[in-house]
């Protein structure tokens, strides 16, 4: 595991900044602190606001997960990873379907980029897929088997871990061991709305299953008091683990 992985006392929560423009994302960031949460910049915000918003969040001291799910020829992905590392991101990701050559190129591009290289996480099967949509794109395997195959490729290629559903975290932890980071979306603190997430899990249950980092968006970004929600999660994890 890279030295920039979570250590005791670091926040496990990564807030998904799913905002349409930089102003809203930066306004949200102004309401929280790097000791309370990490921040995720995904395709919507990055497409709207570009690298500048990432640099501004990093300059404010936040650990930023750049969630752009790279998937291209190895050289292009390697160069994109190196460019992301220059922005100062803490974590980034690439699609395991790109194969070991692409994943190893991505991993190699991050070596020596900074004293603390960014963590590199593999995306296996998007949770929006089911057996039908997988077979439509020529992947006949059962989705769960496909996740295991791709997670194996990710580990073999030297990446730091995977994005997976909290429902899969227990199996992944057993299969891939303690040092393999599990980053889980679909988390809902008890008593909050599930929105469009189908199979949710509470922060406490997800960590019990083996999740290292919890990606949470709307229950925090749309809360009247985001700090109170983050502190509630932190207290729950501290007192119940």
CA-wise closest residue to 106 among 121, 89, 116: 121
CA-wise closest residue to 168 among 154, 186, 141, 189: 186
The span from the CA of 29 to the CA of 45, in Å, is: 13
Instruction: Take residue 98 and report the two structure tokens written for it.
Output: 């790109």
- Position 218 contacts ligand C5P (CB under 6 A): yes
Q: Which C-beta is closer to ligand C5P: that of 98 or that of 186?
A: 186
Closest contact distance (angstroms) between CB of 111 and ligand C5P is 27
Q: Which C-beta is closer to ligand C5P: that of 15 or that of 109?
A: 15
CA–chain centroid gap for 241, Å, is 22
Closest contact distance (angstroms) between CB of 142 and ligand C5P is 17
Q: Which of 197, 205, 223, 234 binds ligand C5P (CB under 6 A)?
A: 197
How many residues at the interface with ligand C5P, by CB under 6 A?
14
Give the torsion sign (CA, 84, 100, 158, 162). Answer: positive
Q: Which C-beta is closer to ligand C5P: that of 78 or that of 215?
A: 215
- Position 184 contacts ligand C5P (CB under 6 A): no
- Position 206 contacts ligand C5P (CB under 6 A): no
Q: Which residues are catalytic?
A: 69
Closest contact distance (angstroms) between CB of 61 and ligand C5P is 22
The span from the CA of 201 to the CA of 21, in Å, is: 29
Task: Give the binding range for ligand C5P (CB under 6 A) out of 94-102, 149-157, 216-224, 227-235.
Answer: 216-224
Q: Which of 86, 114, 175, 195 binds ligand C5P (CB under 6 A)?
A: 195
- Position 93 contacts ligand C5P (CB under 6 A): no
Count of residues for the chain?
241
The span from the CA of 225 to the CA of 198, in Å, is: 25
Q: Which C-beta is closer to ligand C5P: that of 82 or that of 131?
A: 131
The span from the CA of 25 to the CA of 221, in Å, is: 9
Question: Look-up: residue for tokens 């020529």?
Answer: 138
C-beta of residue 145 within 8 angstroms of C-beta of residue 175: no
Closest contact distance (angstroms) between CB of 109 and ligand C5P is 23
């Amino acid at each position: 595991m890279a030295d920039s992985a979570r250590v005791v006392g670091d926040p496990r929560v990564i807030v998904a900044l799913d905002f349409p423009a930089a102003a809203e994302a930066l306004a949200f960031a102004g309401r929280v602190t790097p000791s309370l949460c990490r921040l995720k910049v995904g395709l919507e915000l990055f497409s709207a606001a570009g690298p500048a918003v990432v640099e501004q969040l990093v300059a404010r001291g936040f650990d930023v997960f750049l969630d752009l799910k790279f998937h291209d020829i190895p050289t292009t992905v390697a160069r994109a990873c190196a460019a992301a590392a220059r922005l100062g991101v803490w974590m980034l990701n690439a699609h395991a379907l790109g194969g070991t050559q692409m994943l190893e190129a991505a991993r190699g591009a991050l070596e020596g980029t900074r004293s603390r290289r960014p963590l590199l996480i593999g995306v296996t099967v998007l949770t929006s897929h089911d057996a039908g949509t997988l077979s439509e794109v020529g992947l006949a395997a059962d989705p769960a088997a496909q996740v295991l195959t791709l997670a194996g490729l990710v580990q073999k290629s030297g990446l730091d871990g995977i994005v997976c559903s909290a429902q899969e975290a227990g199996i992944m932890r057993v299969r891939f061991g303690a040092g393999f980071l599990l980053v889980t979306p679909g988390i809902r603190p008890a008593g909050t709305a599930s929105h469009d997430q189908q199979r949710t899990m509470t922060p406490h249950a997800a960590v019990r299953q083996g999740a290292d980092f919890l990606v949470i968006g709307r229950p925090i970004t749309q809360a009247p008091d985001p700090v109170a929600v983050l502190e509630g999660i932190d207290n729950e994890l501290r007192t119940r683990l």
